Amino acid sequence: MNKPIFKRILLKLSGEALVGEKSFGIDAAIVKMIAEEIKSVHDLGIEVGIVIGGGNIFRGLAASSEGYDRVLADQMGMLATVINSLALQNHLENLGIHTRTQSAIQIEAVAEPFIRRRAIRHLEKRRMVIFAAGTGSPYFSTDTAAALRAIEIEADAVLKATKVDGVYSADPVTHPDAEMYRQIKYIDVVRKNLKVMDMTAITLCMENNLPIIVFNMTRKNNIKRVILGEAVGTKVIGDDHEK
C-alpha cells in the first residue's frame, strides 16, 4: 500500500455538496457519506481541517443582487456555513472522530472562536477542525477562507472537492470536448481565468507555494487516493513543486 504524501490537509467542500437529491438544505445521507470518506483519511493518520461553503442555504453574493445589503448578505452566508459545519461535525462524531468547530464570528454557544494556536493543537491531538463563518469579514468567499486557514495551520495542501474530475479548459458540462489538466500552474489558472477557486484564494496559495488539488468527491475513495499520491484530479502548483 502506498504511504500518505501529506501529513496535514485543508479540505474545501461546497455547500451544494450537502444538498444531494434535494433542491435546498442538507441531505443527511450525503453528509454521512462525506463523513465516511473523510474518516478514511483520518484513519491513515492525516490531520484534517475543513472549510464548508453555505450555498445550499444562502449565498451572499447572489442575494446582494436581489436587493440585500452586501455586508448583511455576506454575514447571512457566514451563518449558513456554521449550520453546515455543525451538520458535518455531528456525522463525524457519530463515526467516533473527535471534532471541533471554530467560527470566525463569535457564536460561543455552538462553536469555539477561531484561534490559530488552538486549532493547530487540536489537529496535533488528532481532532478534526471545521472552520466556519468564512474569514469573518464580508466580501471574501469560503474559497479564500480555505486558502487562508490552510496557510495559518501550515497545511501541506488544499484539497478542493468538486463534482467534476478536475480542472478543465472549459465547463465540461457544456463543452464535452474540454481538456482536463492533470497539472497546471497558479499563474496559468489566473491567465486562463479558470474557475478553480476565486482569484484571491489562488493568489494566496501562489504567494505561499501551497498546492491545490481539485478532485471529484462523488467518486468513492477519491480523497483517500489523493492522499496516497495517486493520479487523481488536477494539481495546481508553482515552479517549486514541479517535478
Q: What confidence tens digit (pLDDT) does each residue in 191-235 have?
A: 999 989 999 999 999 999 999 999 999 999 999 999 999 999 999
Q: Count the alpha carbons within 13 Å of 223 in the hemisphere toward its beta carbon.
A: 29
Q: Distance (Å, rounded) from C-alpha 187 to C-alpha 194? A: 10
All structural domains of the chain: 8-174+203-230 (3.40.1160.10)
Q: What is the pLDDT of residues 27-53, one digit of tens each?
A: 999 999 999 999 999 999 999 999 999
pLDDT digit string (tens) for 169-195?
A: 998 888 889 999 999 999 999 999 998
The CB-based long-range contact list for 99-103 (8 Å cut-off, 24+ gap) reads 99/127, 99/128, 99/129, 99/130, 100/127, 100/128, 100/129, 100/130, 101/129, 101/130, 101/132, 102/129, 102/130, 102/131, 102/132, 103/132, 103/133
Q: Please check whether residue 167 is in contact with residue 189, taking contact to mean a CB–CB distance below 8 angstroms.
A: yes
1 pLDDT tier (thresholds 50, 70, 90):
low
pLDDT, one tens digit per residue, over 85-94 is 999 999 999 9
The C-alpha atoms of residue 98 and residue 61 are separated, in whole angstroms, by 33
